[in-house]
Structure 1
């Protein structure tokens, strides 16, 4: 059964926007006897039985070394191929993969002088799946959901006694393709849209950083600096899609990734149909805010115009009075408000300090004090903002960025 990742792993508010399931580290090819003994005493009986379905004991020398150990089910001797099976696999492989296949498999004569082909060294997981499929070894295939659960169990145990070289920084996930998604499928499409594939790869680097890179999901931000894609075919809507991400560069600080580059290959029906290189850096929430504040001066200089469909209420009043007036926004930034305030009587507007409250539907509110600075043409009033708390200023900043636009004439 597919295991959809938690939406917080990729910082999404709605689960429908999560495009990954069965996220896992590639499983070690073998587990020492001590690892399974420890698992027996520390995981649930159901989880231990799942590990026994994935790994089987083997006490004879193998391509993975001497001694008794538990071998990943796919690597058992049943992966030996008859001459006919060998030829079927070879004919089904593309040229670049067939060369690797012939290098990894060697012919041997059994006691009846029949030729059998044996795997001489560990094989890449994508080629392995092709061998299982084309060689008629489907009973040895481990489905993606089971792989993900086994990976999660071993991660929770910390891979005790497993050699470090077997804990590889290679991660796999299935891409979730929901054809009812209103953004990715806003018009009828008979293949997976490219923008959806890119978003899945973007989510992959973020999810791997949190799940395997020790990066806090609550107090860190991923700053993406490279997303480079190349596709060699279309991805179909009806067949499973696997993303395989290998870490090709990383930096760490106190056990957490500070920067990482992933080589993500995209697979469907036994073929690699695309490659995306994705890299980014992680920074703490405080550092992220400092980086973004470098551009905050613009928010106090540029004129922001509220969108025509903005649903808001703006109330103002002189501080010494108790009656609020509703006003309409014409222009604003972090330093000024330009408002149209309907006159209540024939008195000119008070030049003193005003209180204001701005409530935007779906975005919350900002409130503070402002001083009437000048009267403009067409009955508009310009106010200078005063005494905004840090919280109120951040809320106003959010409203500016999300719901207002700077006109072209202001940035030429």
Structure 2
């Protein structure tokens, strides 16, 4: 169970039945570094409530992004207050002197020089280009400006406000945080010094699923998601005590006539302490559930149909009713889509060729009904066993039988060849 004050993504969006298996929070779309004045004042602000406007303008300020230029519609923007636009050179020198670092050639200063240029006239470093979210944290750490830091929870609030304006064009780039519970029974069955790779892969899969439903508008019902390809690369360990951030990028996609994503090429980058530690790329598609079921339907095997054994936790009693109304109850030994074998009470007998109705109940699948024919019976010193062939079942009952096999049975390996 989570103990932090966080709001996890709804479990239905990541196809989970239990909240303890959800690992994402603060899922949101990326926030633009700058919005031109015309769009902000004529499109976005009029569409918002006063409370939403107040929150948005708390983080965006109207500025001229090009120092010394003549203000006009082409260079006036509302910029996000997330990194300083001007940094006095003396401030940078003093900062690095305190850190005991040499300013020229320092790796972090070189990184900063990608975004800032020294203006000799003002003796300041001037922000020259827009900064991605992934780079903002690193820049703030370099210049020690924690006061400008916008938390991921605040970014989620900003992104949700901008999502309310359909006319505002948005990028298909998304962010989320990963919740790691070191008490999770599966991922931490033994002590771990770092976040397990399987947990990270599952978190990235959840991000793909959630983005497909929330942003790609793939319906929750009637549509199935099929994964075609996954590639993962890890460049470093992910440490448990530090926050983990995901960035999801929609590299390519197609939409169907209904307007939702039908084909996706989606890459998730994992960051920790503002540095990339892993990348996982997914390729997949969404298809109608009926088509998916047809694809999943087992092909007919020219050999003997596979038999499945009930799992130990299943209550596996089956009831039979003969044509004259007699009731027979047996314990299910094995089952296939064509027949089943029961262990009967020592006093019960069945005639080979006798027609019967059968029914049994399976948790999660429901009651399965059909007609069968007794094929054989063997009565020994310790067991009374009989075999039955399934004759007729409705399509819905056959579907429930197939679902019951998937959930509560396993193949009899020493009988089958796979």
Give the TM-score of the pair, scaled to structure 1.
0.86
Q: Counterpart in 2 of 1:406? A: 411
- Counterparts of 1:97 and 1:337 in 2: how far apart (Å)? 70
Deviation at 1:302, TM superposition (A): 0.8
Matched residue SS, 2:334:
strand
Could you say if the C-alpha distance between residues 95 and 67 of structure 1 is closer, same or farther in structure 2, counting changes exceeding 3 Å? closer
User: In the TM superposition, what are the counterparts of 1:329-344 in structure 2 within 5 Å?
Assistant: 329-342=332-345, 344=347
User: In the TM superposition, what are the counterparts of 1:2-41 in structure 2 within 5 Å?
Assistant: 2-33=6-37, 34-36=39-41, 38-41=43-46
Q: Counterpart in 2 of 1:369? A: 371
- Counterparts of 1:231 and 1:99 in 2: how far apart (Å)? 25
User: In the TM superposition, what are the counterparts of 1:199-218 in structure 2 within 5 Å?
Assistant: 199-218=202-221
Deviation at 1:299, TM superposition (A): 12
- Verify the 8 A CA contact 1:299 1:397 in the aligned structure 2: no
- Counterparts of 1:117 and 1:397 in 2: how far apart (Å)? 67
Q: Counterpart in 2 of 1:236? A: 239
User: In the TM superposition, what are the counterparts of 1:36-55 in structure 2 within 5 Å?
Assistant: 36=41, 38-55=43-60
- Verify the 8 A CA contact 1:205 1:279 in the aligned structure 2: no
- Counterparts of 2:9 and 2:385 in 1: how far apart (Å)? 52
- Verify the 8 A CA contact 1:231 1:273 in the aligned structure 2: yes
Matched residue SS, 2:351:
coil
User: In the TM superposition, what are the counterparts of 1:3-402 in structure 2 within 5 Å?
Assistant: 3-33=7-37, 34-36=39-41, 38-58=43-63, 61=66, 66=74, 68-74=76-82, 77-78=85-86, 80=87, 82-85=89-92, 88=96, 101-111=112-122, 115-158=123-166, 160=167, 162=168, 164=169, 167-254=170-257, 255-295=259-299, 301-321=305-325, 323-342=326-345, 344=347, 348-349=350-351, 351-361=353-363, 363-375=365-377, 378=380, 379-402=384-407
Matched residue SS, 2:82:
helix
Structure 2 unpaired stretches of 5+: none
Deviation at 1:300, TM superposition (A): 8.4
- Counterparts of 2:267 and 2:109 in 1: how far apart (Å)? 22
Could you say if the C-alpha distance between residues 65 and 189 of structure 1 is closer, same or farther in structure 2, counting changes exceeding 3 Å? farther
Moved more, 371-380 or 400-409: 371-380
- Counterparts of 1:97 and 1:361 in 2: how far apart (Å)? 59
- Counterparts of 1:42 and 1:13 in 2: how far apart (Å)? 37
- Verify the 8 A CA contact 2:28 2:176 in the aligned structure 1: yes
- Counterparts of 2:179 and 2:286 in 1: how far apart (Å)? 25
- Counterparts of 1:382 and 1:220 in 2: how far apart (Å)? 39
Matched residue SS, 2:342:
strand
- Verify the 8 A CA contact 2:262 2:286 in the aligned structure 1: yes
- Counterparts of 1:299 and 1:169 in 2: how far apart (Å)? 49
Deviation at 1:7, TM superposition (A): 0.9
Matched residue SS, 1:392:
helix
Give the TM-score of the pair, scaled to structure 2.
0.85
- Counterparts of 2:346 and 2:353 in 1: how far apart (Å)? 14
Deviation at 1:307, TM superposition (A): 2.3
- Verify the 8 A CA contact 2:108 2:142 in the aligned structure 1: no
- Counterparts of 1:188 and 1:371 in 2: how far apart (Å)? 54
Could you say if the C-alpha distance between residues 66 and 39 of structure 1 is closer, same or farther in structure 2, counting changes exceeding 3 Å? closer
- Verify the 8 A CA contact 1:372 1:383 in the aligned structure 2: yes
Deviation at 1:361, TM superposition (A): 4.2
Deviation at 1:42, TM superposition (A): 4.0
In terms of fraction of residues, the more helix-rich structure is 1
1:130-150 per-residue CA deviation (whole Å, 9 max, x = no partner) reads 111221222221110111122
- Counterparts of 2:73 and 2:317 in 1: how far apart (Å)? 72
Structure 1 unpaired stretches of 5+: none
Aligned length: 400
Deviation at 1:373, TM superposition (A): 2.5
Could you say if the C-alpha distance between residues 282 and 108 of structure 1 is closer, same or farther in structure 2, counting changes exceeding 3 Å? same
- Verify the 8 A CA contact 2:306 2:412 in the aligned structure 1: no
Could you say if the C-alpha distance between residues 282 and 65 of structure 1 is closer, same or farther in structure 2, counting changes exceeding 3 Å? farther
